[in-house]
Amino acid sequence: MALFAGPSFETGCTIAVSHTADALHAHVELDGDIVLGPGDHVQVHGAPVTLPFGGALTLRRTATVRRAGLIERLWVKLRASLELTELYEITFTSEKAR
């Protein structure tokens, strides 16, 4: 495994975009049994998708997957654990809640 940047490869993908009153999302599903790990990058190729309100669209594109190297993977795991602790908020006060 490379220390900084891992291998990269191209694959097909399916993009589902929705812009309705019930949902606003864009999901990408890669072809095959590709499992992404911490620090891996996916770049979808093609023109940006613009969709008017009330629209939904599913289309095919090509994506480049770049695997993270050992150092990048460890760095992402460390940052994620530190950012998780920022969510903790514990307060001790002697005042009674009113």
pLDDT of 93 reads 67
Assess contact for 70 and 38: CB atoms under 8 A: no
Residue 74, classed as helix, strand or coil, is helix
Helices and strands in the chain, H and E counts: 1, 4
pLDDT of 83 reads 74
Domain ranges of the chain: 8-85
pLDDT of 82 reads 77
Q: pLDDT averaged over consecutive 10-residue blocks of the chain (98 residues)?
A: 75 94 92 90 92 93 92 88 70 64
Taking the C-alpha atoms of residue 62 and residue 40, their distance in angstroms, rounded to an integer, is 16
